[in-house]
Structure 1
Amino acid sequence: MSSDVLEKRYRMLLRAYPAAYRRERADELIDTLIGDEPTTRRWPSLRQAASLIRGALRVHGGSTADRPTAVLLWQGIHLGAMAVLALGALIGLDDIVEAFQFGGLSDPMAVLRDQGIFEVMVIAALVALVADRTRTAAVLAVAAVVVPSMISQYLLLNGLPQFWAPVVAAPLIIAGLWRPADVPSTPRANAVLATVGILALHLIPAGGFRRVDVSAQIVAAAMVIAGIAVFLWVATADQRLLIAVAPTLLLGTLYQLGNDLSTGELLRRPDALPSLVVAALMAAGAVVSTRMRQRTRA
């Protein structure tokens, strides 16, 4: 009876793997995990659970594909475009809400003209990309740069960070049009989860470091360390995230370069130049390590 309960719980963990992989390997994995000896265990060990989850992340990242490096690059580019558009939409929505809170209700049409049209077009490009309508997403991303700027110069003149989202995303989306036929597109649910994870990384309250209150600084430091540790634990298994996070950090760097060129300010910003350099190095490392594993497997 205990073995049946344990097998059921193992199979729940195996649901983290793609369906096709489960159909081929689930029974083999269960036999390996449980073994032939009777057991009184009712729960997988923490180490086994973590190994299964990391294994699922590796499979989603293309480790079992015929061309893992190609999957890493092309799906990483796709996820990067999604993440940067989602981050731009999130920042833009927050700015619109803030604008209405601080006087925007007296002239709502000005807020909609200055920020609303841009927000709608960025969200439309994001939705098209999630739906795997790459050509439509490319057109909408380019239009999100040009059309709102023709209607209002607010975002352009103020150099707001969301303005850079379609600027960064458009080349990535256009590059995705040349994805090789033997490289599958990123599954929709997986792409959404990856994008949410990258957004969560940007929502860590790193601004608490600049507060005078020591307790707030300690809490901020703990949250930053925990958030980065979780992200790296996931991203070192699904290395597409190491590529996808770089464009979102470029967004912060472009904003800082446009508003304050002083090196001191850039180094104080966790989303500016230093973290972008680290992200670029991690992305390069992901490509190199994947190619080395591919050669070893061959």
Structure 2
Amino acid sequence: MSSDVLEKRYRMLLRAYPADYRRERADELIDTLIGDEPTNRRWPSPREAVSLVRGGLRVYGGGTAARPTAVLFWQGIHLGALAVLALGVLIGLDDIVEAFQFGGLSDPLTVLRNQGIHEIVLIAALVALVAGRARTAAVLAVTAAVVPTVISQYLFLNGLPQWWAPVVATPLIVLGLRRPADVPPAPRANAVLVTAGILALHLIPAGGLRMVDAGPRIVAALMVVAGVAAFLWVATADQRLLIAVVPTLLLGTLYQLDNGGLTGEMLRRPDALPSLVVAVLMAVVAVVSTRQRQRTRA
């Protein structure tokens, strides 16, 4: 009876793997984990649980694919386009809410003209990309950069990150159209989870590091360390994240280059440029190391 309970809990952990992989390998993995000897265990060990979760992340990241480097690169580009559009949408919504809080209700048409049209088109581009309509998403991303700017130059003149989002995403989407036929697209549900994880990384309150009081600075530092550690724990298993996070950090750097003296933006943090450099280096290391492993395996 305890063996049945243990198997059920192992199978719950195996949900970290893609469905196709589970269908092919689940029984084999269960037999290896439980073994032939009778056991009174009712729970997997913490080490086994962590290993299974990381194993699932590696499979999603292309570690078991025939061409892991190609999966890493092409799916990483797709996830980067998704993440940068989603971050632009998030920043735009935050700014629109702030605009209405500080007088926008008295002139909603101005808010719509300055920010709302761009936000609507950007959301449409994101939805199209999530739905797998890459060509439509590319057209909408170009539209989000051009048409709202013709109507109002508010976002463009202020160099706001949400204006840069479709500019950064468009070449990634267009490049993704050239994905080789033998490289599968990123699973939709997994892509949404990866995007949510990258957004969570950007929501870490790094601005608290600039506060004068020691207490809030310590709390902010602990949250930054914990958040970055959690992200790296996942990203070292699913290395597509190391590629996907780069364009989102680029938004903060572009904003800083245009508006070095402004404050209060979600992405304006003292580590924007160094973090972008580190992210690019990690992405390069991920591609090189995956390529070396592929050659060794061959």
Q: TM-score, normalised by structure 1?
A: 0.97
Please give the residue correspondences for 1:79-118 in structure 2 after superposition, counting only pairs within 5 Å: 79-118=79-118
**Shift of residue 50, structure 1, vs aligned partner:** 0.4
User: Structure 1 segments of 4 or more deviating over 4 A?
Assistant: none
Q: Is the 8 A contact 1:72 1:239 kept in 2?
A: yes
Aligned residue in 1 for 2:11: 11
Aligned residue in 1 for 2:188: 188
The residue identity in structure 2 corresponding to 1:128 is: A
Please give the residue correspondences for 1:35-184 in structure 2 after superposition, counting only pairs within 5 Å: 35-184=35-184
Which deviates the most, 237-246 or 27-36? 27-36
Please give the residue correspondences for 1:235-246 in structure 2 after superposition, counting only pairs within 5 Å: 235-246=235-246
Q: Is the 8 A contact 1:249 1:271 kept in 2?
A: no
Q: Deviations over 1:196-234 (max 9, x none)?
A: 000000000011111112111111011100000000000
Aligned residue in 2 for 1:212: 212
**Shift of residue 271, structure 1, vs aligned partner:** 5.2
The residue identity in structure 1 corresponding to 2:10 is: Y
Gaps of 5+ in 1: 263-267
Q: Is the 8 A contact 1:253 1:271 kept in 2?
A: no
Aligned residue in 2 for 1:265: none
**Shift of residue 80, structure 1, vs aligned partner:** 0.2
**Matched residue SS, 2:70:** helix
Q: In structure 1, what is the Cα distance between the partners aligned to 2:281 and 2:261?
A: 23
The residue identity in structure 1 corresponding to 2:225 is: I
Q: How large is the Cα RMSD of the aligned pairs? A: 1.2
The residue identity in structure 2 corresponding to 1:183 is: V
**Shift of residue 41, structure 1, vs aligned partner:** 1.0
Aligned residue in 1 for 2:297: 297
Q: In structure 2, what is the Cα distance between the partners aligned to 1:271 and 1:169?
A: 22
Q: Is the 8 A contact 1:88 1:163 kept in 2?
A: yes
The residue identity in structure 2 corresponding to 1:294 is: Q
The residue identity in structure 2 corresponding to 1:156 is: F
**Shift of residue 269, structure 1, vs aligned partner:** 2.7
How many aligned residue pairs are there? 293
Q: 1:58 to 1:270 in 2, by over 3 A?
A: farther
Q: In structure 1, what is the Cα distance between the partners aligned to 2:41 and 2:168?
A: 51
Taking only the aligned residue pairs, the percentage that are identical comes to 81
Q: In structure 1, what is the Cα distance between the partners aligned to 2:88 and 2:104?
A: 20
Q: In structure 2, what is the Cα distance between the partners aligned to 1:270 and 1:90?
A: 20
**Shift of residue 261, structure 1, vs aligned partner:** 8.2
**Shift of residue 297, structure 1, vs aligned partner:** 1.1
